[in-house]
Structure formats: structure tokens, C-alpha cells
Amino acid sequence: MSPEHWQRVEALFHRAVDLSAAAQKACLDKECSGDDALRREVEALLRSERSASGRIRNAVEEEAVRLLQDGDASGERLGPWRLLRLLQHGGMGAVYLAERADDAYRKKVAIKVLRSTLATGLERERFRTERQLLANLEHACIARLIDGGTRADGSPYLVMEYVEGEPIDRYCTEHRLSLEERLGLFRQVCLAVAHAHRQHVVHRDLKPANILVGKDGVPKLLDFGIAKLLDPAADPHVGPPTRAEDRRLTPEYASPEQLSGAAIGYASDIYALGVVLYELLAGCLPYQLTGLSLDEMLQAVRQTDPLLPSVALVRREPDDGGMAPRLRGALDNIVMSALQREPHARYANADGLAADIARYLAGEPVSARSAAPVVRLIRFARSHRMWTIAALALLAGSVPAALYLKEVHDGEQRIKALIAAHTSARAIEHLPAVAILRFTSNESGSLLGAGMSRLLLNALSPLTRLRVTAYNSVRHSPDAAPDIDAVARQLGVRYVVSGKAEVNGGRLRIEAALTDAAAGHRMWSVDYDRTPEDIFAIRAELAEKIASALSIELTADESRQLAKAPTRSVEAYEAMLQGMSHYGRRPRRATEEARRHFERAIALDPGFAHAHGMLAMTYNREFINNWGDNPAESLARAEQLAKRALALDDSRAFSHLAMGMVRREQRRHSEALAAAARAVVLDPNYGNAIVLMASILCYAGKTDNTLELIQKAAGLNPRNPINYQLQMGRCYFAMGRYGEAIAAFEQALDKNALGHRGHLLLAASYAQAGRLDDARWTVSEIQAGGRQLSLRRIEPTIPFTRSEDRARLIEGLRRAGVPD
């Protein structure tokens, strides 16, 4: 606005303002001739004139009113501090610039006066403890908490180091930092966050506004742990904080679990760091959430993937000065690793993130890799027919034209996908891995102790979003506390559930803890003091807690399953546990002993599906090992019991497994495969079901991928690795790789785990490999056990379906000296 122009406007305004409308128009016509801009301007001013003074007055008045209503405390004294002026005013409270009234502390501070009031002594106590935790945070890049207290009206206040600086994103833009400089700055931030995490403080609200960079170029993090301080209702002993409280957050930086109100942990901070890094590199946010409702935000964050930073940058600034290519690859992967939806798939701690950044800057390879697409285990329809047909199709190698149906095709695809999922190393890598240790116990509680870990395993194993491993070491004495770190490393898991189950004077006392071995701290621990009958309820509660702590969302079905107890009677369960410990020892007598316990369990609870299944297994084993006089009858019994187990409860994997094993022996392979596949779908962590699938495929002559399947299963269930040697051997035999088959069988033999069938296969393998002496020796060993071997008797029990496989076995045995 030039002075001359303004003078003209002014003159014109005064000339026209008190004229009538018509006169005004005429005046403007005359004075503005040709100058439309001037005319518009003056007209606008004339229009505004009437309500102008009122508007200004209102603006001032209303703000004064608001000021008084907000009770702005500037000028007040707060203990030894004097509030100077209001810096910020928001949902949580107000922040004032302040100084010491007595000059004892020269520097200016920021005092945060919080809106909430701490009414009870307990709340004040918690506030004090939390405050102490924060006050202990001493780091060059973290704004110090200097002091704190409560005012007379109960509202708490915090005195913090006053930090002047620009938000990190603005700092980088204003000072035109290079890529390396940005990364260097960000790395310092990560190290600060790591420091705080080690002191067990989570920030919960990391964002550029809370990361200020001063003139000296040093970043400082503000408001560490303040969000938690305001949530004094969070009780560390009860596990994750209550959901409703933690809704105060900045959506763009909030992790999916924060948005959905689930448990917040160190991983949430990692996510926020990921968003900040994304911004610093790409110049925009990964998700645009402005104007969305909470549900829409959740949907966006859960179901859409953000663009890679390199891509986002190019979209925004096609001419970015060459930064985009440098982001591609390692940096993209680092950012996306921090932004993973699943908390466990992110960096385990901020140090890891800082380390990768350092590696990038040093030109070394980073640990982050591009995320594999998640292979979801697909939930199948319940149609039994569909399963069978699909399995048949898969085994036949093609879909018979007459049978072609969409569901068959889909089913076949799904079984293939299932196998692919289990053989692909990357598929389940991103899932949280937890190991359930055997619970220690006292004399009277020892059975339940073992039972507890088994119960938890059975409860958690069906969850698709979790990778569960059982660890049962006979070497580990019941009294010694397990070395969690060692276990975690050995099993390759991140989380460990450990505990104690003791029975004393009719009371059942259970202690359980969940430890995060990668981050190095215990997540929670609980104890129960109940009666033995409550064990199933405790199991359900513990399982829910574990799932919740690992941010696993349960579907409605999964929740229901979790709550279902295997049996109503603790006695029946104990009987079954006893049966299982006998069954675990393989010899005939032990199996018969086991059978007695299972029968007792069924007598105590006729609806006990699992016991029926186990009983079926004893008859199955009888058939396989040729113990009974009438093998056909053994198998028939097994089938009958397996059917009963399914009838009682077909929602559990075990019932299907039992049936699968029976069908396999009956050589009804398509049905066997269908049952095994069903078991795997119901319980993705069930190693034995995977092995069953592998064995069926093996016997059917479909040996692709079976080796990997078995290895995968072995990884899931290290408790019974010896079993897998046998499976591997069988697989190698079917593939004609006799040398490897022999090695595997010999290993099983060393551990005394080679059953009757295994011996036969070993003998045939030796023979086929040309080691006739070994072959003959093995046959004589079998016969020494009191068996009369003849090919005629063996022939009907051979599980292989392909004629060439059968021929190889028969031929091998013949060469080994088995008579016809």
C-alpha cells in the first residue's frame, strides 16, 4: 500500500461514507473512473464500516473474558518460582515461562501446570514416583525435569528446563540440512530415546514439536513421559494401562496400537521415531489423517501402506536435487522397519535404529530389509467335502474334469498356500515369537506345573498372529530359575513366559511373568492364589494377558476358544497329564500304561475330547508297531475314538490330527491330508500337525517342500526334535536319497526313537544303498525283538501309495534278507 494510494482511498472513503446509497454510487462513478481496483477497495471499506467497531470491540472483549475464565496464572508465584508469561495453552494444561523468585537458579524454566487434580493420596504418591523416574533422566538431549509439586487446589505442576529452539522438521528445512546432517541429528534423537527407555520411561508423544533443535544444533527432547504422568490410573502391576485413558495423542505420530487404545510400549516410541524420520527424508507425513474420524484413521493406518519415502519425495518434488535415489534401498528399509504395523516387527529398541543409521552413514549394510508381504494363513470354510476334494486334487496333481468346482480349485490353492506359508522362511518372521517355559513347582503341584505350561501352549498356539514355541527341558531342575536370555537366544524367540505353579494345603498358587528378552526387561508379572479347580480360568486369563501385552488382537472366535476349558474336571485333566507323560515314552508297556490313564480321564469326564484323541493315538501306535494280534481291529478302534473326539470338539486341532493319523494308516490319503491341513489351519503353531502333513505328502509321493515343512515344524517344537529325525528319514527315503535317509534314521536310533516302521525303512535304505551287511544286521535286530518278519505280512501295512515307492521298500527288505 503506497502512501499516495492510501491517501486517495482515505479521501474517497470520507467523501462517500455518509452519502445515501445512490449518491455513493454516483460519487464513486465520478472519482474512480476507470480505476476498478480502487473502486472495489473503497466499496469494500464502505461495506465494512457499519459493523467494524463492534467487531473489534468483541474480539478484544471476548479474549479478555477467555483469559479470565482460563485463570491465567501469569504473575503468580508457585512455590519458589514466579510465572512470567504464558507460553502455551492446551488440553493438558498451561505452560508458563518462569524463573526463580529468589534468583537461586539463574536460568529460565518452563513450568507445566496440569489441569487434572490429584485427589487421593494414592494418586499423589504415584505422581511423585513417576516424577522421580523422570527426574532421573539425565541426558544431554533430554530436557531435564527440575522440580515439581502440587498446588493448593491439588493440581500438579512440573518444572522443566526451558528449551529454545525450532522443531526438528522446521530446523532441517530452514537451515537446509543435507541428508547426512539430518541423519546425524536424528541419530542423536534415537540415542536419547534409547537412554530413556533403559530408564523405563516411554515418551508416548514423540513428534517434531517435542524435538527442538537449538542454535547450537543440538536436539533436545521435551515432555518425556509427561503423558504417563497424567495417567496416574495406570498400575504397573495389572499389566497394560486401561485403554480409555490413553487417547490424548497426536494422530499423525501415533502407532496403530496407540490409536486403537491397546497397550503402549517402547515400540510405540519407535513408531513415532519412524514417522519423524519419514518426514525428515520425504518432507511429508506417511499418512494424511487431517479431518478423519478416529475409526477412519485406524482404518487408514491398518489397511493401507504408506509410500516409500523415496517415492513420496519424488511425488512431492520431482526436482529434489538428487535425494530420492539416495533414499532408495537402505534408508527406505530403515524407515519402513520402524513403521511396521506389528510392534514386534519394528526395531527392538532405539539403539538398533540408531545403529542402522550409523551403518548407513558409514556405508555399511544395514540390518533392515524390505518387508516381505505378509502371508496370511487363510481361514477355510468348514465344508468337509471341500477339504477332501481339494486334498484329492492336490494329491492327484490335477483336478479331474468331472470334479471341477470352484471350491475345489480354491481349496487346492489354499492348501498350496498353506504349504508355501509354512515353508517360506520369511512368512512368519514378522510375528512375535514367544516361548512358554515349563512352570516350576513343588512336590504336590508338579503335575499341574507341567500342565500349566501345556495349557498355555494349547491356548496360545491357535492364534495366527503369534509364533509359539514350547520348551521343556528335562535337564532344567524345578527349583532353579531359568536363564531367560539363554533360552530366548537358543530358541530364537523374543518373548518368554515363565512361572511357578504350586499346590499348598489345597490352594493353587501360580506366578507368571512375561519377559521381553530383546529389549531386556520384564513386561509384567502376576500371581494368583486360588483353588486347583480354577486352573482353567487362570489359563484363560493368562492367555488373554499375554496376547494383550503382545498387542495381538483376538478375533471373536479366538476369544471364545481361549475361554473354552479342555475339560470340566481337574482330576480328569490330571489323569490325562499322567497319561501323556507315559505316552511320551515310546515302548509298548508305557503306551499301555498311558492307555489306562486316558481311559480313566474319559471315565471322569466323558466329554473330554482331548482324552479321546489321545486314546485313539495309543491304538494307532499299536497298529503302526504291529503290537496287537489283530492290527485291523486296532486301527478300527483308533478310528472310532478319533471320530468321537471330533464329534465332541472339532474346533481344536488335536481332534483333527488324531483323525489324520488314522486316515494315513488307512491310506485314505486325501482325507488324511484334509484333516492334517485343517489341524494346521486351526493351530498354525502345531508342529506335529505340520509333520503329519509332511508325512502324508511323503507317503503319497509328493515330496516337494516336505523337507522344509519338517524343518519348520522342528523349529516350532524343539521339545520333540528326535521325532523329526524319523520324519526326515522317511522323507529322504521317499525321495530316493538313501544316504541322507540312513543318517537321519541312525540319529533317531541313537536316541532310541526308531520304531518298528523306522527300522524297516532303515533296513531297506541300507539295502538300496548297497550296504547289505548293515541291512541284514538291522533285520536281525528287529527279529531279535521277537518278531516274525515276512514280506507278506508287511505288505498291507506299507503306507506308501505310489507303486514305485512300495516296490523300493519291498525290494530293499528282500535284499536285507526278509523272507517272503
Partner 1 sequence: MAAKTGAAALTRGVLFSMEASSPVTDLLYRTQRGDRDALEQLSTLVYQELRRIAARCMRSERPDHTLQPTALVNEAILRLVGADVPWQDRAHFYAVAARQMRNILVDHARSRGRGKRGGDAVRVPLEDAGELAAPLDRDLVALDDALKDLAKFDQRKHDMVELHYFGGLSMEETAQAMEVSPKTVQRELRLAESWLHRAMSEAAS
Residues binding partner 1 (CB under 8 A): 1-3, 6, 10, 13-14, 17, 44-46, 48-49, 51-53, 55-76, 84-95, 167, 205, 207, 209, 247-252, 293-294
Strand-pair partners of 156: 150
Closer residue to partner 1 in complex, CB, 32/580:
32
Angle between helices 609-624 and 631-648 (to 10 degrees): 160
Q: Shortest gap between Cβ of 47 and partner 1 (angstroms)?
A: 8
Rg (CA), the chain: 36
What is the closest distance, in whole angstroms, from the C-beta atom of residue 254 to partner 1 in the complex? 8
Q: Angle formed by the axes of helices 669-682 and 384-396, to 10°?
A: 120
- β-strands 467-471, 433-437 pairing: parallel
- Closest approach, Cβ 286 to partner 1, in A, equals 14
Closest distance of CB 285 from partner 1, Å: 9
DSSP string spanning 695-725? Answer: HHHHHTT--TTHHHHHHHHHHH-TTSHHHHH
**DSSP designation for 253:** G
Q: Which of 650, 652, 679 lies closest to 664, judged by CA? A: 679
- Which amino acid, one-letter code, is at 538? I
Give the nearest distance from C-beta 108 to partner 1 in angstroms: 13
Q: Give me the DSSP letters along 652-702.
A: SHHHHHHHHHHHHHTT-HHHHHHHHHHHHHH-TT-HHHHHHHHHHHHHTT-
The backbone region for 477, taken as left when phi is positive above 0, alpha when psi lies in -120 to 50, beta otherwise, is beta
The Cα angle at residue 710 between residues 709 and 711, in degrees rounded to 5: 95
Calpha distance 455→801 (Å, rounded) = 37
Determine whether 205 is an active site residue. Answer: yes
Q: How far is the CB of 268 from partner 1 (least distance, A)?
A: 14
All three cell numbers of 702, joined, read 509328493
Catalytic hit among 70, 103, 169, 205: 205
Q: How far is the C-alpha of 253 from the C-alpha of 276, rounded, in Å?
A: 8
The alpha carbon dihedral of 301, 302, 308, 314 has a sign of negative
Q: How far is CA 134 from CA 97, 129, 146, 253, in A?
A: 20, 9, 9, 22
User: Residue 697 in contact with residue 673, Cβ under 8 Å?
Assistant: yes
Nearer to partner 1, 60 or 420 (CB): 60
In the complex with partner 1, the residue whose CB is nearer, 28 or 496, is 28
- Report whether 74 contacts 85 (CB < 8 A): yes
Strands 156-161 and 166-167 come out as unpaired
- By beta-carbon proximity to partner 1, the closer residue of 209 and 358 is 209
β-pairing, 211-213 with 219-221?
antiparallel
Beta pairing partners, 246: none
Question: Catalytic amino acids?
Answer: 205
